[in-house]
Structure 1
C-alpha cells in the first residue's frame, strides 16, 4: 500500500526503492542493542512493544500524504517489525529442543505466511477502486490487525520477565565477538540477508511490474497471496524434509528454484504466467527464512541467542536497505531488470551455503 501511495504522489521507481529501504534503516542501526535488551528476559515484552509501535505507525499512515513523511514512517514500522521478530524468534529458540528447530521455526513462519496471504488479498480488494487505489481502506484493516495482535501479547509480556530478572545476561563486546566468531555464522547471516532481500524486493516491485503489465491492485494482491499460501504449504513439512535430506540440500534447493523464478518473473508478460511463477516461487522462498533461523539458533549459545538473532536480522535489514535501493536504480532501465539482480543474489547464496555446510548436514 505504501508503494501505491508513493506512485500516487508521483514517485519514480528509484524513489520507491529508497523509501522501501527506509523500512530497514532504523532497525539496521538498533538491532544489536535490541538483541541485548531481549536477552535480559524481555522476549515477550519485545512482542508487545513491537505491536504498539506497529499500531501507532499504521494509524499515522492514514493521515500521511507526503513522500518525506512516508520516509519517516517506514523506519518506525521497521522497528515495530524488528521487535516482533526478535521477540518471537528468541521465544522459539529458547523454548525448543535443537532437533525441533526446523519444525517450530517452520510453524512460526507458516503463520507469518498466513498473514502475508490475508494482508495483500484483503488489502488489495479493499483498496481496488478501478483506476483509483484507496490505500487508506487497506491501512485501516492493518490497524485492526495490529491492535488485535498487540492485545494477545499482553500475557506473554507479563510472564516473560517473572523469575528472569535475576538471570539477566550481561551482554558485552566479548559476547558480540563470540557470536560473530561462531563457525559458519557469517555464512548463515549472508544467506539469510539475501533471502529476505529477495522477498522484500518482490513485495516492493511487483506492484510496479504489475503497473507496466496493466494489472490491477486486486490482481497484485492475488499474486502476493498465492506466493504466501504456497509458502505455508512447504513450511508445514520443513522439519521432516530437512531431517531426511539435510539443511544444505534444502537451502540450496530453495535458492536454486528462487533464482530461476526471479528470471521467470522478469520475462513474464501476463497475470497467469505470474500466477504460476508465484505459486512455485512461494515454495522456494519459504525455505530460507526458517532454515536460517534454525541455523543461527543452533550455533549460538542460549545466553546470547537474542543477540545472535538480532545480528541475523541486522544482516536482513542491511539487505533490505542496499538491495531495494540498487533495485530502484536498476528499475529505471525496466522493472524486469530488478529480478535479474535477485537471481544473481541467489546464485551467490548457493555458493556460500555449499562452502559453509558439508554434504549431508
Structure 2
C-alpha cells in the first residue's frame, strides 16, 4: 500500500466483501420468512439460526491455521464466496425445514472461509503503517452489506405481511426470488476475486492475521491491537497481562491457560452476548414483525438501520476510546443495547409505533457496534504478546459457541412468550454480561 499502484488488491477485496455481505444479509432474514411460510415456529427458526454457526464452530481453528500456511489465498476467498452462493441456492431450492437448516449451515461455512481468508490477506499484504486503513475499508464493506442486504430483501418482499399473503403463490415466488438474488450476488464475487493477482508473499515477519471476528460482524482493525487512537490505559487487568509478558515466561497458550488470565472470561462473555444479539435480531425480527403486522419492507428498514448505526459507531469509536476507557465503553454498549433493543418488540406489537422502533434500533445498533471491536482489543491486551493469536482464535471459538447455543435458547424462550421472547432472551444475556462487568469492576 506504499503507492496507488499497489491498491488494486484491496479494492478487489472490498468489492468481493460488498457482494458477499449483501448476499448474506439478504439471505438470512428471508430464510426466516421461508421457514414461516413452511409452517415453522419460533423454536425451529432458532435451530436454523444455530445451524448457521455449527460448521464454523467445528472448523474455525483449523481453517485459521490453513490460511496461514497457504502461499496464496485468492482461491480460498473465491471458494468462500462460492460456498456461500451454493448455500443460497439450497435455500432457494429447499422445500423442507431440514433442507433449509443444512443450507444455512453451508451458508455459515462459506462466510467463515471468506472472512478468515480475507483478513489473512490483509495481514499479509498491507504495510504496517496502513494496516488500520486496510482493515477499516474491509470492515466498511461488511457494513455496507449489513445495510443493503435487508433493504433489498424488504423491497423484494414488499409491504404485505405473510398472513396477508397466505397461500399466495406470488409471495412465495418473491421469497424464492430474493433467495436466488442473494445466491447470484455471492457467486458474482468469485470472478471478481480473480481480478486480484496471486499473493506476493508476506511483507514482514509479523504474525499472520488470525480469524478474529464473527462472520456476521467483522471489525478487525477498528479498535484492535493495531489502532493507535483506540488505545487508552486499560486498567489493572490489562496491565497485568501485558506487563508480565516480557519478564515471566508465559508458557503455552492453551485454552485453559488463556481462560485463566484475569478479565478474559468477562471479555469473552461480552463478545459472545453482543454477537449472538446480532444473529437473533436478524432471525427473529421477521417473526416479531409478522406477529405485529409489520411488513417485510419495514423489517428490512429496521435491520438496515441497525447496520447503519453500528457502522456509524465504528467511525467515531477512535474518538470515544480516546476520551473514555474501554471497560466503560463496553459496559455502556452491553447495557444500552439491552435496554434499547428490549423495547423494540413492544414498540411494534403493543404501541404500533414503527417510528419508535426505528429510533430504538438506531440506538441499539450504535451501542452494539461499540462493543465488538473493543472486546477484541481487551482480549488482545490482557494476554502476553506471544499469546495474542491463540487468544483471538479462542475468542472466535467462544463466539461460535454463543452463535450455536443462544439462538436455540432464544427459540425455546419464544415458544411460550411469542417471537419477542427470543429478543428479550438475548437482551437478558447482554444485561447479565454488563452486570457481571460492573460488579467485577468494582471489586478490582
Instruction: Choose 239-248 or 45-54, whichever is displaced more.
Output: 45-54
Q: Answer whether contact 2:335 2:430 (CA < 8 A) is retained.
A: yes
User: Which structure 1 segments of 5+ residues have no match?
Assistant: none
More helix by share: 1
**d(CA) in 2 for partners of 1:92, 1:322:** 31
Shift of 1:112: 1.8
In the superposition, the TM-score normalised over structure 2's length comes to 0.70
Select 2:182's aligned residue among 97, 122, 142: 142
What does 1:244-255 correspond to in 2, within 5 Å? Answer: 244-255=323-334
SS at match of 1:10: coil
SS of 1:29 mapped into structure 2 = helix
Q: Distance in 2 between matches of 1:287 and 1:43?
A: 33
Shift of 1:314: 1.9
In structure 2, relative to structure 1, the CA distance for the partners of 1:147 and 1:245 (3 Å cut) is same
Q: Counterparts of 2:98 and 2:85 in 1: how far apart (Å)?
A: 20
Is the Cα contact below 8 Å between 1:41 and 1:161 reproduced in 2? no
The residue aligned with 2:243 is none
Using structure 1 for the length normalisation, give the TM-score. Answer: 0.85
Residues 98 and 302 (structure 1), Cα distance of their counterparts in 2 relative to 1, 3 Å cut: farther
After superposition, the Cα gap between the structure-2 partners of 1:264 and 1:122, relative to the gap in structure 1 and judged at 3 Å, is same
Partner of 2:408: 325
User: Match of 1:277?
Assistant: 360
Post-superposition offset of 1:214: 0.4
Cα distance between partner residues in 2 of 1:93 and 1:296: 19
- Structure with max Cα Rg: 2
Mark the CA change 1:254 to 1:91 in structure 2 (over 3 Å): closer, same or farther: farther
CA shift digits 1:248-276 (9 cap, x unpaired)? 12211111210111321232232222111
Structure 1 residue aligned with 2:110: 80
Higher relative contact order (CA 8 A, sep 6+): 1
Aligned length: 354
What does residue 316 of structure 1 align with?
399
Change (3 A) 1:266 1:352: same
Task: Report the Cα distance in structure 1 between the residues aligned to 2:141 and 2:380, rounded to whole angstroms.
Answer: 19
Corresponding residue number in structure 2 for 1:350? 434
Give the conservation status (yes or no) of the 8 Å contact 1:259–1:344: yes
Alignment partners' CA distance in 1, 2:386 and 2:196 = 20
Q: Distance in 2 between matches of 1:87 and 1:327?
A: 31
Query: Is 1:19 the counterpart of 2:102 in the alignment?
Result: no
